[in-house]
Amino acid sequence: MLMSTVVAVALGFAPVNPDGTVQPRPDNYARVAGHYTESVDSRGNRHLRGFNGVTGQPYDVVIDANGNVEAAVGDWTVTFQVRQA
Q: How far apart are CA 52 and CA 35, in angstroms?
A: 8
What's the mean per-residue pLDDT of the chain?
A: 86
Segments of the chain with pLDDT less than 50: 1
Please list, in sequence order, all residues whose beta carbon lies within 8 angstroms of the beta carbon of residue 65, skipping any fewer than 6 positions away: 44, 45
The pLDDT, as a whole number, for residue 1 is 45
The whole model's pTM is what? Answer: 0.82
Amino acid, res. 25: R
The pLDDT, as a whole number, for residue 19 is 86
The pLDDT, as a whole number, for residue 61 is 95
